[in-house]
Structure 1
Amino acid sequence: MAMPLAALHDLRRLLVCPRCRAELAMEPDGFRCTAADCAHHRDGAFPLAGRWPVLVDFERSVVNLDAVTTQGAGGRAERLPAPLRRLVKPPNRVAARNVELLLRALPGPAPRLLVVGGATVGNGIGAVYRDPRLEVIGFDIVGSPFTQFVADAHQIPLPSACVDAVVVQAVLEHVLDPPGVVAEIHRVLRQDGLVYAETPFLQQVHAGAHDFTRYTASGHRHLFGRFEELGAGAVAGPGTQLLWSVDHVVRSLTRSPTAGRGVRALLFWLRALDRLAPPDFAQDDASALYFLGRRRERGMPPEEVIRYYRGAQ
């Protein structure tokens, strides 16, 4: 896979302090803020974890320095044989279609795209890493081959209006303040910049203590109220939602996540029910939702949020 990741050497000029957004100075063992009155002006304020700068304001973050470790570019599903992997984690065609739309809409010969929570290549967004036009910036709370620095999405260490697009897939459920993170995404986007987001609606807890939030379609639209909608809908519908539930029922009865995953693989055909559900019913019973939008300045009045509802009720 071609990897159009920006080199950290070239990216350094963009990095800013996550607290005050002043420029950073590079040191042998990390970075520090150049603002004399900032708490992060001290030497070693932003250390290195391996080769990754850790640009986190730990006093204002749930990220723990001791927990910042490197990880590989794949989880359990990626280590399975290809046929079984497709049963457990089928290709996300909705994401692939929407990412292609996003890439076609990007301006200029060398657009800059930010992946929030990009420690692994998200399901269906591989085109981002194959497009030779792109300059890709990726960060997460751990380092990986697909990220250039470690950061907390509540305080993105980049200047305002510096990227043309943001992809945030299966991340917003894992942050304490999703509206704050979306505000940061809005801040770093240039005028008319694009965002593509996927967020769970009807899914069981995953990632344990770091899973906080779910959104209905109307709630997800309100979350991205300062964006013009280019597309929105279900990533996966009621069949996939049922499959999640069966998996976790088996886990709870057997006390075994492996047993749950096994039953989930056997009942893969339940996903076919997604295709039978009309879009309005699917919206009310989706496993996950997507939003593709363009940055704007105005927000979304409450009455517009109410009128937005497109479900079957």
Structure 2
Amino acid sequence: MPLADLNDIRQLLVCPRCRSALAEEPAGFHCTAPACPYHRADAFPLAGPWPVLVDFEHSVVDRDAPMGAMGAQVSVGAENLPAPLRRLVKPPNRVAARNVDLLLRDLPGPAPRLLVVGGATIGNGVGAVYRDPRVEVIAFDIVGSPVTQFIADAHHMPLPARSVDAVLVQAVLEHVLDPPLVVSEIHRVLRKDGLVYAETPFLQQVHAGAHDFTRYTASGHRYLFRRFDELAAGAVTGPGTQLLWSIDHLVRGVTRSAFAGRGTRALLCWLRALDRLIPPDFTRDAAGALFFLGRKRAEEMTAQEIIGYYRGAQASERP
């Protein structure tokens, strides 16, 4: 697994507030800029082996929370089910696998650096990122895990500008308070012509409870990445899968049981096959989740361009 060692990327990390260099001490890190609020010795503590590089004044991450809890295992839901049932409830994400393959083939140089935002677990379909021997993977989340090197808030990434070649942000943007700010940070840390791959829900029920905030249509998702050229975009899951999730949550509500909902979803897993029968334009208007693969550019997409971008089934209804 090409996850970079923290010692190898230590010099790359910067203050999330002012982006000055960091100084290390036994209990953590602090900013080297005297005027920065995080210049004090205990500014960025450790949570187990993970440096907590968070601008606490502008984050939902609480500095006074028990740091041990941040390093706890975060696997939930389908990941805890037996393998056969897990494959029925949460099948392999072939869309992500295909797009990650495209991203990896397009990465430049002999040792490209790829940043995983919200990488506390290895996402469904993106395992190739961690198997490619030439890729240096940097990953963070607001919790620590065996596949992250540090804890951070995606709104204020503790990385310098133009420091990575690609960014992977799968099923994360719905969990941040300000997705445009996070995408702006992604644009900032990417080198010229850097790549981004994102997956974000559209028609999907609330998950992660109080930490679930946002959904995007296909046009809204494209405009979110308006400072990127589109290489590929479309649906991760279609109306059949979306219907399956709705039935799951209907059963949960009627029975007050998440287990009953998941069981019903497993029994009706054949509904996913309906996705294959629906044309892409109809799928875009009723997708469960959407993906975007893009390349960094300087210019923004205009408001006029995003109106013309719409490719859904209602395009023929335009005056």
TM-score by length of 1: 0.98
- 1:24-59 CA distance string (max 9 Å, x none): 000001000000000000011000000000001111
Secondary structure of the structure 2 residue equivalent to 1:12 = helix
Amino acid at match of 1:80: L
Ranges of 4+ aligned residues in structure 1 off by more than 4 Å: none
Tell me the residue number matched to 1:307.
308
Give the drift of 1:262.
Answer: 1.1
Tell me the residue number matched to 1:231.
232
Give the drift of 1:73.
Answer: 6.7
Give yes or no for contact 1:73–1:145 (8 Å, CA) kept in 2. no
Unaligned runs of 5+ in 1: none
Q: 1:199 to 1:67 in 2, by over 3 A?
A: farther
Unaligned runs of 5+ in 2: 315-319
Q: What is the rounded CA distance, in whole Å, between the counterparts of 2:238 and 2:305 in structure 1? A: 25
Q: What is the rounded CA distance, in whole Å, between the counterparts of 1:63 and 1:271 in structure 2? A: 37
> Percent identity among equivalent residues?
76
Give the drift of 1:258.
Answer: 1.3
Give the drift of 1:256.
Answer: 1.2
Alignment of 1:101-120 (within 5 A): 101-120=102-121
Tell me the residue number matched to 1:181.
182
Q: What is the rounded CA distance, in whole Å, between the counterparts of 2:222 and 2:145 in structure 1? A: 31
Which residue among 41, 46, 63 is the counterpart of 2:61?
Answer: 63
Q: What is the rounded CA distance, in whole Å, between the counterparts of 2:81 and 2:249 in structure 1? A: 20
TM-score by length of 2: 0.96
Q: What is the rounded CA distance, in whole Å, between the counterparts of 2:136 and 2:286 in structure 1? A: 37
- RMSD, aligned CA: 0.9
Give yes or no for contact 1:25–1:34 (8 Å, CA) kept in 2. yes
Q: What is the rounded CA distance, in whole Å, between the counterparts of 1:75 and 1:205 in structure 2? A: 14
- 1:222-268 CA distance string (max 9 Å, x none): 00000000000000000010011101111111111111111111111
Q: What is the rounded CA distance, in whole Å, between the counterparts of 1:168 and 1:41 in structure 2? A: 30
Report the more deviating stretch, 111-120 or 74-83.
74-83
Secondary structure of the structure 1 residue equivalent to 2:270 = helix
Tell me the residue number matched to 1:218.
219
Give the drift of 1:306.
Answer: 0.4
Amino acid at match of 2:184: A
Tell me the residue number matched to 1:287.
288
Tell me the residue number matched to 1:198.
199
Which residue among 15, 19, 22 is the counterpart of 2:20?
Answer: 22
Q: What is the rounded CA distance, in whole Å, between the counterparts of 1:181 and 1:203 in structure 2? A: 21
- Alignment size in residue pairs: 311
Q: What is the rounded CA distance, in whole Å, between the counterparts of 1:246 and 1:161 in structure 2? A: 44
Tell me the residue number matched to 2:30.
32
Tell me the residue number matched to 2:101.
100
Q: What is the rounded CA distance, in whole Å, between the counterparts of 1:132 and 1:7 in structure 2? A: 14
Give yes or no for contact 1:22–1:35 (8 Å, CA) kept in 2. yes
Alignment of 1:39-54 (within 5 A): 39-54=37-52
Q: What is the rounded CA distance, in whole Å, between the counterparts of 1:71 and 1:201 in structure 2? A: 29
Q: What is the rounded CA distance, in whole Å, between the counterparts of 1:53 and 1:169 in structure 2? A: 23
Q: What is the rounded CA distance, in whole Å, between the counterparts of 2:73 and 2:33 in structure 1? A: 35
Q: What is the rounded CA distance, in whole Å, between the counterparts of 2:220 and 2:56 in structure 1? A: 30
Amino acid at match of 1:296: R
Q: What is the rounded CA distance, in whole Å, between the counterparts of 1:73 and 1:237 in structure 2? A: 27
